[in-house]
A = this chain, B = another copy of it.
Amino acid sequence: MPSTPGTPTGRRRHRVREEALTEILNTGRRLLVEEGPAAVTLRAIAREMGMTAPGLYRYYAAHRDLIQALASSLYDELATALAAARDRHPASEPGRQLGAVCRELRRWALAHPQEFGLLFAKPLTDADTAPGAAAHDPSWRFGGVVLDLMVQLWHHGNIKPPADLDPAWTVQLEEVREHLSGEPVPLEVIYVFVSCWARLYGAVAVEVFGHLDFALTDPAPLFDHTVRDILTALGEPRTAPR
């Protein structure tokens, strides 16, 4: 009974297994979208696929692993969407690229609120995947698109970092820098990156979770203002909204 069930040897077996895995995830996602997170259940997925629940244990060791795999695939889809938005603008204009990526993040999240909710609110619900610092791979694929663009923006623009950088951060920020394709980005600049990242992610989350409904029917202009602020903080003078 392997924790990651059977790894087939044959070529054909491998292919049909891949198809089953993606069908499981697709079915789970459909249930998530149509009936909410509580409906993403082993028995429901199996029912929709015309099989029984214990059969799914040949693909995922537990319900938690299935949800985690679903979240991981959603991170991938989001990262792909962000990269596509980035590539709709020339690489010579990283400011426009980052603006487009920010708006694409909001668009994707609002178009797929259940999926975004799963990604954003998952770590707290679990509270078990917090041993070291290597478990954040799936979320990095998605955040990396934004951070890499910030690095490009740092090359082109002129960021004015704050001089008062808490020395206790250096160790952590060094670790972030290693993920940045070995670019020699100053730690103060990485601090600005993290600050902008937090502001972007928070703005999207607050809106998706409906915490602005009490005041605004269409918070798009507010978000555009936030994006302008972020680009300004990253030293991009030309604030291109569209």
Contact between chains at A140 and B225 (CB < 8 Å)? no
User: Does more than half of chain A's interface fall in helix, strand or loop, or is it mixed?
Assistant: helix
Contact between chains at B117 and A176 (CB < 8 Å)? no
B residues in contact with A201, CB < 8 Å: 202, 206, 211
**A194 CB–B CB distance under 8 Å:** yes
Contact between chains at A194 and B216 (CB < 8 Å)? yes
Contact between chains at B211 and A198 (CB < 8 Å)? yes
Contact partner, A127, options B36, B121, B162, Cβ 8 Å:
B36
B residues in contact with A204, CB < 8 Å: 202
Contact between chains at A198 and B203 (CB < 8 Å)? yes
Contact between chains at A215 and B202 (CB < 8 Å)? no
Contact between chains at A215 and B173 (CB < 8 Å)? yes
**A195 CB–B CB distance under 8 Å:** yes
B residues in contact with A55, CB < 8 Å: none
**A124 CB–B CB distance under 8 Å:** yes
Instruction: Tell which of A12-20, A72-80, A83-91, A164-172 binds the partner.
Output: A164-172
Size of the A side of the interface (Cβ < 8 Å), in residues, is: 55
Q: Please measure, in the bound complex, the distance between the C-alpha atom of A169 and the C-alpha atom of B203, giving whole angstroms.
A: 18
Digitize A74-116: 1 where CB-to-B-CB distance is under 8 Å, 0 elsewhere: 0000000000000000000000000000000000000001100
A183 to chain B, nearest CB (A): 15
**A205 CB–B CB distance under 8 Å:** yes
Contact between chains at A222 and B210 (CB < 8 Å)? no
Contact between chains at A123 and B202 (CB < 8 Å)? no
Beta-carbon nearest neighbor of A198 in chain B: B206
**A238 CB–B CB distance under 8 Å:** no
A164 to chain B, nearest CB (A): 8
Q: Which residues of A contact B (CB under 8 A)?
A: 36-38, 113-114, 117, 120-121, 123-125, 127, 130, 133, 136, 139-140, 143, 162, 166, 168-169, 172-173, 175-176, 190-191, 194-195, 198-199, 201-219, 221-222, 225-226
The 8 A-B residue pairs with the shortest CB-CB distance in the complex, in nearest-first order? A202-B202, A121-B121, A202-B206, A123-B210, A117-B124, A166-B221, A194-B215, A176-B215
CB<8 Å pairs between A and B, sample of 16:
A36-B127, A114-B124, A123-B210, A124-B209, A166-B218, A169-B221, A172-B215, A176-B215, A194-B215, A198-B207, A198-B219, A199-B203, A201-B206, A201-B211, A205-B206, A205-B209
